[in-house]
Amino acid sequence: MSPSKSVYHFNSAIVREPSRSVVDGLRAEERGSPTYEAVKAEHDAYIAVLRTAGVEVTVLPALESFPDSIFVEDPALVFTEGAILLRPGAASRSGEAAELAPTLRDMFGTVLDLPVGFADGGDILPTPKGVMIGLSARTDRAGAEALIGCLDKLGHKAELVATPEGVLHFKTACSLLDDETMLSTARLARSGVFKDYKQIIIPEGEEPAANALRINDILMVPSAYPRSLEFLDKHGYKVIPVATTQIEMIDAGLSCMSLRWYRDGN
């Protein structure tokens, strides 16, 4: 990454169209069932916001054999310096990295493979001070430690942190707002993991809004959480509400649906 670029400065992204099988996506708890048409509408709106933010979006075709493949962030990591193919912790997603590999090898000069263990991109939070890797039900210690080695090869330092019990992914409960500030649920904030940052705590009862997504000068925030939208607007962020009610039924949020990086030379 260029020294002048923040970790939320992006000009490139990869997304994947939802499959019709997306309605069978994984879920830790029952929140109802999405429809393909409604997920597609949310995804289309999401792509439109990325483009509005100045990001060139590569849209990959749907994969019917992988219901969760719309969530491209889990099987890979991307940086200016290269990409890492991960090993998702859910058995039904184990083939998704191989499906992404040709695209990543075409776009990046360096593509590394996580050699052992399991790691989901939803547990991995790049920050100005390094990459946080949350241990969870989907990211085990072997995978996280192997990932530290891969990140080191790309010039990024990393640290292991704890994801609260019962929270699917680390980024389910947090997101980076700017170079100095984290958005977090109260529960995760109490753990002390963000002691080196300013913290903005999500209002009680609106915890899913913690998975916001900062892209360049805008902040994408789930639209169903009015107190969080107002709160972040008052803090001076350029908030864009984005519907996530359908993808939340299958354990997902805003960060899951794209791989984002700054491509030098764009």
User: Tokens for 17?
Assistant: 């169209």
Q: Is 174 a residue of the active site?
A: no
Helix (H, G, I), strand (E, B) or coil at 54: coil
What is the dihedral angle through the alpha carbons of 151, 266, 220, 50, rounded to the nearest 10 degrees? -120
Q: Across-strand partners of 113?
A: 85
User: Tokens for 31?
Assistant: 């929140």
**Quick count: other Cβ atoms within 10 Å of Cβ 239?**
20
User: Tokens for 195?
Assistant: 């002691």
Q: Is 102 exposed, middle or buried (0-12, 13-18, 19+ CB in 10 A)?
A: exposed
Q: Is 43 a residue of the active site?
A: no
264/94 Cα distance (integer angstroms) = 31
Catalytic residue among 9, 43, 156, 169: 169
User: Which helix (H) or strand (E) covers residue 99, if one does?
Assistant: helix 96-107
- Our measurement of the distance from residue 166's CA atom to the centroid of its chain's CA atoms, rounded to an integer in Å, reads 18
201/244 Cα distance (integer angstroms) = 20
Which residues are catalytic, by number?
Answer: 169, 256
